Amino acid sequence: MKVVNSLKTLKKRDRNCRVIRRRGRVYVINKVNPRFKARQG
């Protein structure tokens, strides 16, 4: 999992990426290809 400043660019990496908020942190998760996981904050 990558920790990044901007999730907007990571969301564009794959069609199945979703941005989700959990416990005050923002995540990009991808059910189809878990390689694209990222976190901000």
Question: At residue 6, does pLDDT exceed 90?
Answer: no
- Over residues 16-33, the pLDDT tens digits come to 899 999 999 999 998 998
State the pLDDT at residue 28.
92
Question: At residue 8, does pLDDT exceed 90?
Answer: no
Question: With 0-12 CB in 10 A as exposed, 13-18 as middle and 19+ as buried, what is 23?
Answer: exposed
State the pLDDT at residue 39.
92
State the pLDDT at residue 27.
92
Q: Say how far apart CA 40 and CA 21 lie, in whole Å.
A: 10
State the pLDDT at residue 21.
93
- Provide the domain count of the chain: 1
The domain of 15 spans 2-40
